[in-house]
Structure 1
Amino acid sequence: MTLNLPSPQLQISIREEWNENLETRDQYLEHIKDWLRRQPHLPDDWGDVELLNFLRSCYFSLERTKQKIDRYFTVRAAIPEFYRDWDIKRPELVAITSVGQACAMPKLTPEGRRVMILRGFDKNMETPNVTHFIRIAFMFADIRIKEESHGVSGDVYIFDASILTAGHFAKAANPVIFKKFLFCLKAYPIKVKEIHVVNANSMVDIVINWIMLLVKEKYRKLVHVHTSIETLHDYIPKDVLPEEYGGTCGSSKNFTEQWIKKLEAHTDWFKKRENFKADESKRLGLPIDYDDLFGVDGSFKKLAID
């Protein structure tokens, strides 16, 4: 599965959006590399592509980039249940991939955004374990950090609600896990630009209202609910969408199969990265106490999600 890179013209607009100056970019990159080498509690063997994506997501603010990188490594250590056993062939992860499709579309939107799709198959399926689902989501994210070599303008998410039931929601609606997920997501060089819920049913309003209680207003404005596929085309061109959503870019089934193969091919890479996390015993100054950071009940007493 290959992610199409932005055209030369689109690369220019993406650089402008993220405040990326080709004349000074290498200086910023070297500054971050030097800073990482001086942080004994953080790994320092990242490549240029990964570091540049963190710089872009912080509009090339050095201090914000340092904070995000530190946060990325810290959450990997603080919330190990999301970052362990990254092997897509493990039974608990196969149980997720066998009941749905998830893929990043190869083609970018005209604005340079990457479209991500998530859809299930069967209303009668067992509710997936949310923690296992989050593990797969971050496996996708880590691969994209190293493969979006020219960056993107942001992400567009399409969630298919056609099989959503009250039973699924009742079992999956864990506010502590969801808050931890949002906390980790903030550590990634990802900019969510749009969220589209398609094939909406009567449960969608309940789910969205529950989620909106946990996120800030700026995220609420990104959500668009569609009762038909046609209105989705007002936002995303058909040549970027798969056939399942009236598009001409191929099948999400095929793209999902390709992504599963990509995840399988990265099994050894994921294994080597299990220790790719902060070591608080080596942090300069006071180490972070994870119970103090999140609260013993996961309620994030000291840090707000923003």
Structure 2
Amino acid sequence: MRPLPPELAKIAREELNEIPERVQEDLVILRTWIYQQRYLYARTSTDFLIAFLRRCRYSLEQTKKRIDDFFTFHTKCPEIVTNRRVTEKMLSINRLGLQYFPEFPRCSDHAAIMITRLNCCPKRYHMRDVMAYTAMGMELIALENDNAAIVGVIQIIDLSNLDVEHASQLGGGLLRKWWYWMNDCCPLRINATYCLNAPKELQNWLGVLRTLRVKMRPQFFILKSLEELYEHIPQKCLPEEYGGANGHMHECVSYMEDLLKSYRDYFEDEVNYGTVEHLRHGEIMPYEAEFGAEGSFRKLDFRIKIIEKGISYIYKYKYFHGNQVLEHYT
């Protein structure tokens, strides 16, 4: 466990209930619990478990559930997880600049920044590959970036290059599975998401959500300009390409490439982890509670249902039907 700067140690203690003298005891409890679950094959390294403890504010029960959900997802969603290898394809996706994690300076509240852009050709890189790459990056940042693990992440999504085919690839339950991973499995906490350069149709659709008073978690904001973004995130914290002073994006790409290569064996080792569901007894599988035994949603989240249908509708017909859409999907 890395020593923390005083300001981060204070946040970890006051907001996450992290007591350094008790961490080893918590790790022993988690490792013992993992070893006792016959169906669960999970990582037990110190950094990995601490990332999940911090994500769950040191609630042992919540940490157990998130770890269980994380590795159940590995077993139940091979279309995303089996692509999580440091291959030349993944490195080429990184070089496209789809995901940026600027290092310094931090946000004023010490949160880390994550910038997501759709700079890939959908004919060459399917959204499954993009999701796998993003999941790898977020997991590594949870392990390596103490600001991200303790304070959380502010996400900026730049939709400048959003294509109709990008949206079409999110069908078949893929968006729902990604939503599930982000909310129930990911070891990083997304504090807020700011969306730039969203198509007008998508802005209108999110207006429907506001009209219905649908609460988004994490908070989701559609912004019209960089100046509006600066009202939420200090300008100096952004890369120079976004008007800030936080280095260049190619530096972020180089940092992530070096990080991915250093974790090559880590991801190769993923074949040894997951769940053996027929050995699980006395409880509902986390994945099946959400998706059903055959992968179809039982407990359908109203928010993701609206978003998924909205994206499909908007990009199929390329225009917005106002009240007609609202009546059709509510």
TM over 0.5: yes
Change (3 A) 1:73 1:303: farther
> Which residue in the other structure is 1:252 paired with?
249
Q: How does 1:200-239 map to 2 (within 5 A)?
A: 200-205=198-203, 208=206, 217-219=215-217, 222-239=219-236
For 1:192 and 1:290, locate their aligned partners in 2 and report how far apart those are by CA, in whole Å. Answer: 21
Contact 2:66 2:185 in 1 (8 A): yes
> Which residue in the other structure is 1:35 paired with?
33
> Which residue in the other structure is 1:135 paired with?
132
Helix, strand or coil: the match of 1:116? strand
Q: How does 1:189-200 map to 2 (within 5 A)?
A: 189-200=187-198
Q: 2:69 aligns with which of 60, 71, 79?
A: 71
For 1:259 and 1:239, locate their aligned partners in 2 and report how far apart those are by CA, in whole Å. Answer: 21
Task: Kindly provide the CA deviation profile for residues 188-209 of structure 1, in whole angstroms up to 9, marking residues without a partner as x.
Answer: 2222111111234424415746
Change (3 A) 1:169 1:270: closer
> Which residue in the other structure is 1:282 paired with?
279
Task: Kindly provide the CA deviation profile for residues 165-198 of structure 1, in whole angstroms up to 9, marking residues without a partner as x.
Answer: 4x24542342611111111221122221111112
Contact 1:101 1:253 in 2 (8 A): no
Q: 1:103 aligns with which of 94, 100, 108?
A: 100
For 2:302 and 2:281, locate their aligned partners in 1 and report how far apart those are by CA, in whole Å. Answer: 25
For 1:102 and 1:291, locate their aligned partners in 2 and report how far apart those are by CA, in whole Å. Answer: 30
Contact 1:199 1:229 in 2 (8 A): no
Compute the TM-score of the two structures, normalised by the length of structure 1: 0.82
Query: Structure 1 residue 148 and structure 2 residue 139: aligned?
Result: no
For 1:37 and 1:152, locate their aligned partners in 2 and report how far apart those are by CA, in whole Å. Answer: 27
Contact 1:183 1:305 in 2 (8 A): no
> Which residue in the other structure is 1:62 paired with?
60
Contact 1:54 1:69 in 2 (8 A): yes
> Which residue in the other structure is 2:9 paired with?
11
Change (3 A) 1:119 1:212: farther
Pairwise CA distance, 1:270? 0.7
Change (3 A) 1:66 1:180: same
- The two structures, once aligned, show a CA RMSD in angstroms of 3.4
Change (3 A) 1:97 1:25: closer
Identical columns (%)? 24
For 2:278 and 2:272, locate their aligned partners in 1 and report how far apart those are by CA, in whole Å. Answer: 14
Q: Which AA in structure 2 matches 1:66?
A: K
> Which residue in the other structure is 2:261 paired with?
264
| Equivalent pairs, count | 298
Contact 2:154 2:190 in 1 (8 A): yes
Helix, strand or coil: the match of 1:190? coil
Compute the TM-score of the two structures, normalised by the length of structure 2: 0.77
